[in-house]
Structure 1
Amino acid sequence: MFLFLFLFFTQIFAVQASPSAHQLDVPFEELYAPPQPSQAHEWQSYEGIYASVYYTSQDRKVALELAQYSAQSIPRLAKKLGLSTGGAVDIYIAPSQESFLAMQPAIPPDWADGTAWPKSGLIFLRSPSIRDGRSDSLMQVLDHEIVHILLGRAFAHQPVPRWLQEGYAQIAAREYNEETLDALAQAGFVDAWIPLSQLARGFPVNAHRAQLAYAQSADFVAYFLQTYGEEALQKVIQNLIAGNRFEEALFLTTGKSTEQLDQAWRGQEAFELLWLKPLFSDTTLLAVFGLIFVVAAIRKKHEYKNEWQKNFEEDLEHVEIQKALYEMLDTWKLESKRPFVIVE
């Protein structure tokens, strides 16, 4: 029954891909130089200490804003990660979708809103004129890509753990949103969260499970920062760069095993999502999370009951939950969604 509910909600709450493409290992990437956008246009630039922004005439204003923003964002994010800023980054604003796809070391997915290439120090963004009204600002996308550059450079020829890469990038770019909450809520209904040890080995191929991995990565990084602090995460990063395995890096920093951290994280964060602190104005969303809390409480109570008693009550629980879900969905159709307010 819980599997049915998970699949049911998976279809209701459509999830979208991350705005940044997962980068490929491209030979001689560090030698790559982007081509001109077209015969009719040439790159113009704003140059700074940490970044140079290349643009065509139609994006002059946004290029100046990104140049000013990157001058503050790059050193700020490097400090938070405990990493060097490295050499200057070249940021390109592609004037068209065709140029965005053509000017990169390897062709990114169609859905990518930005890409980062750490070895060559390149970031490619799409012009506001071709972004189709996406909710994330271009500054948010830039922050996401800057994290990829900083971590990619720090790990050099080692692959950056994807939970760290994508988890911290989402937090830095303030991308933890309603879709992320939906993915976590869906998994919470059926205890389908991906174990931390599996998350450390990479993301699933299945699209919905991959989206859950993205959401969990952000949630785990946020939990770790909230529980152990920024310096502790920096130590984990340095331990990973030094060649320690995931389990070793966590233990050297926290003194806890992966299983202990996993249990603590799930126990505190799986349903509470304390770090986000959203202000809900939509009563149906409150109903969703209220129902999740009820389910969690029922399951906790069942742990202390005899087996036959537990099985009997779980059957009743399934009926009650299914009824509540359909009542909630009827209400959902009549009310409009409102955006979350994220308190940092």
Structure 2
Amino acid sequence: MTGLIKLPTCIIFLIFLASPLLAKIILEGADSPELASYIENETEKLEAFFETDAGSIFVFVAENREQFDSATGNILPEWGFAAAIPRMSKVILLSQRKFNPSVVAHELTHILLHKKTKNSYIPRWFDEGVAQLLPGEAMQGSTIRLAFASVSGKLIELPDIDDVNIFHSDKAHLAYAESYIAVKLLYEEVGKESLIRFISDIPKLGFDRAMLSHFGITESGYNKIVLEHIRRHYNIFSIFLDQRVIFLVFLLLLFISYIRVKIRNRRKIREWENEEGPAPY
């Protein structure tokens, strides 16, 4: 059972460093029962999934961008508005954003995943893919983004996603979309139990050797499988199956229909006026 504590900054840090067992979740910078309850519940779910204890997690909600950048060491790009620092069991959120459960769950997943791997190295694509898949994070606009990248030959090699923090916003979103697909494919193929056993062996074997041991393939080999899957399933036709495109096409058809009706009505009015002739004096 998780516990929540909210105290002034200096006291929070003393408790967190000196006696982490006093509280499971330490929340600073926000007085939100909704957020606090969500963090507790989500942490318990992730503990059950990863079969590990979260320990104490420190969640800091920054008041503004300047405070957020300072708390994250000024290393995040402008498109970043949440961060996890697994070695410190710390989550940092930007309060200007409306409370988004999937974002909070995403960062908590990073913490628990790294707890399970004992902070061993894991590729960024796997890290981000797991953090999107488990909370059920929606991939808005990803179909179009993946399709355009596939058709134009601009898909990102999975190992290159390690540098996502220096990508511009569009490329970063593509990297996250590819990461989601990569982990989703793996999860659907091997299931939860095999995935957890693989993650558990990463501290002992390293990521690449653990992949080879459990799945019979290296990261390099899996990279080829994922990119080929994306090329097969995301193409020019995928764009027209995207819900947003369908909605826009529907709106366009409504607009065209409206214009046609207006033109037809005006034509009718002119015809009636011509038939009636000039009004008598």
Match of 1:146 in 2: 108
- Residue segments in structure 2 that go unaligned for 5+ positions in a row: 1-7, 12-20, 235-240, 255-281
Listed as ranges, the matches of 1:292-311 within 5 Å are none
**TM superposition shift of 1:139:** 1.6
For normalisation by structure 2, the TM-score amounts to 0.66
- Is residue 89–residue 121 contact of structure 1 (8 Å, CA) maintained in 2? yes
Match of 2:54 in 1: 86
Match of 2:122 in 1: 160
| CA RMSD after TM alignment | 3.6
For normalisation by structure 1, the TM-score amounts to 0.55
Indicate yes or no: 2:79 matched with 1:111.
yes
Match of 1:68 in 2: 37
**TM superposition shift of 1:140:** 1.4
- Is residue 72–residue 83 contact of structure 2 (8 Å, CA) maintained in 1? no
Match for 1:145: what amino acid?
E
Give the whole-Å Cα distance in 2 for the aligned partners of 1:257 and 1:54.
41
Aligned positions, number: 230
Match of 1:98 in 2: 66
- Is residue 81–residue 94 contact of structure 2 (8 Å, CA) maintained in 1? yes
Indicate yes or no: 2:211 matched with 1:250.
yes
**TM superposition shift of 1:217:** 0.9
Identity across the alignment (%): 23
Indicate how the Cα distance of structure 1 residues 157 and 49 shifts in structure 2: closer, same or farther if over 3 A, else same.
closer
Q: Which runs of 4+ in 1 moved over 6 A?
A: none
Task: From the two aligned structures, give the one with the greater helix fraction.
Answer: 2
Deviations 1:242-285 (A, max 9, x none): 23342x32221123455664555455554547xxxxx9655x44
- Is residue 43–residue 108 contact of structure 2 (8 Å, CA) maintained in 1? yes
Structure index of larger Rg: 2
- Is residue 129–residue 183 contact of structure 2 (8 Å, CA) maintained in 1? yes
Give the whole-Å Cα distance in 1 for the aligned partners of 2:214 and 2:142.
28
Listed as ranges, the matches of 1:113-192 within 5 Å are 113-127=81-95, 130-131=96-97, 137-156=99-118, 158-192=120-154
- Residue segments in structure 1 that go unaligned for 5+ positions in a row: 1-32, 37-46, 274-278, 287-328, 337-344
State the SS of the aligned residue for 1:119: helix
Match for 1:242: what amino acid?
K
Give the whole-Å Cα distance in 1 for the aligned partners of 2:101 and 2:89.
18
